[in-house]
């Protein structure tokens, strides 16, 4: 069969046109893919990353607030109670004056502890029942530990109540040890003996010993707060991926 040159030229042109069309299709497909990828990044990935950053910043702020509130409350309670102990032991003020100072100190601590405890239970629990959470239980023991110290300072001149508050301090100190995930690197301070009253630096020494024990005992609680993921904040790789695939979830 004889094939004319014109037929060959037509076939070549047709093949060339098909290849060119295929090339244009591929180029258009690549452009469309890049466009779709850009849309996905702008509409899904960027908002997810922005939310991650925002939630992470807010979580850090929340943790910082809780820790600062706790540290300030502990410092105030131990300082005020320490002065009550010094005044009580050395008979510098009337019972009525000391009772007023004691009530103010206990009230301030309970108020501060209630605020911190509410944030811990609301944001940092890992169990369905907040009362069963180790952090909540540990903070509860710590709360009573500080109250026992304040009571010990006020009732220092009364042997019976003084011993009772000291025992309450030791009991809650033990409960705290069992609930926290890190060791408490301090022991319960010894009972201040009456023979030490009046010695130079007595008040400062007693206050410093107890204050150091109480402040150091709060460190494991602070670590537990810092290590936990706050409820309501979507932070981490899993949350980031979830936000990408379920942006409106």
CA nearest 117: which of 152, 142, 98, 93? 142
Q: Which secondary-structure segment (H or E) carries 91? A: none
For residue 222, the Cα-to-chain-centroid distance in whole angstroms is: 7
- Structure tokens that stand for 15 in this block: 């093949």
Query: Would you say 202 and 87 are in contact if contact means Cβ atoms under 8 Å apart?
Result: no
Can you tell me the distance from the alpha carbon of 203 to that of 190, in angstroms, rounded to the nearest whole number? 14
Among 18-22, 83-87, 153-157, 227-231, which stretch is predicted with the lowest mean pLDDT?
18-22
> Residue 20 pLDDT more than 90?
no
Q: Is residue 151 classed as helix, strand or coil in its secondary structure?
A: helix
- The model scores a pTM over 0.75: no
Among 46-55, 59-68, 194-203, 209-218, which stretch is predicted with the lowest mean pLDDT?
194-203
What confidence tens digit (pLDDT) does each residue in 91-125 have?
Answer: 677 888 889 999 999 999 999 999 999 999 999 89
- Structure tokens that stand for 92 in this block: 């510098």
What confidence tens digit (pLDDT) does each residue in 154-211 have?
Answer: 887 787 888 888 889 889 988 999 998 888 776 666 555 555 555 655 556 666 777 7
- Structure tokens that stand for 242 in this block: 């979830």
Ranges assigned E (strand) in 77-183: none
Q: Which secondary-structure segment (H or E) carries 65? A: helix 46-89
Can you tell me the distance from the alpha carbon of 225 to that of 124, in angstroms, rounded to the nearest whole number? 7
């Amino acid at each position: 069969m004889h094939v004319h040159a014109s037929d060959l030229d037509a076939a070549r042109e047709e093949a060339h046109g098909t290849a060119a069309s295929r090339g244009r299709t591929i180029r258009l497909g690549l452009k469309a893919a890049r466009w779709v990828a850009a849309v996905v990044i702008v509409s899904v990935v960027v908002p997810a990353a922005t939310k991650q950053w925002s939630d992470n910043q807010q979580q850090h702020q929340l943790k910082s607030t809780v820790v600062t509130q706790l540290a300030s409350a502990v410092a105030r309670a131990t300082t005020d109670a320490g002065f009550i102990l010094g005044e009580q032991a050395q008979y510098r003020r009337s019972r009525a004056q000391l009772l007023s100072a004691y009530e103010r100190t206990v009230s301030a601590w309970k108020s501060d502890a209630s605020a911190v405890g509410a944030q811990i239970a609301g944001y940092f629990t890992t169990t369905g029942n907040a009362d069963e959470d180790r952090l909540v239980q540990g903070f509860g023991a710590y709360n009573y530990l500080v109250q026992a110290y304040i009571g010990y300072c006020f009732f220092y001149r009364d042997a019976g109540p003084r011993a009772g508050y000291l025992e309450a301090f030791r009991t809650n100190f033990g409960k705290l040890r069992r609930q926290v995930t890190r060791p408490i690197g301090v022991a319960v301070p010894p009972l201040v003996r009456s023979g030490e009253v009046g010695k130079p630096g007595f008040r400062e020494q007693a206050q410093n010993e107890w204050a150091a024990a109480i402040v150091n005992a709060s460190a494991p609680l602070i670590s537990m707060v810092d290590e936990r993921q706050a409820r309501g904040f979507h932070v981490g790789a899993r949350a980031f991926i979830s936000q990408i695939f379920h942006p409106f979830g």
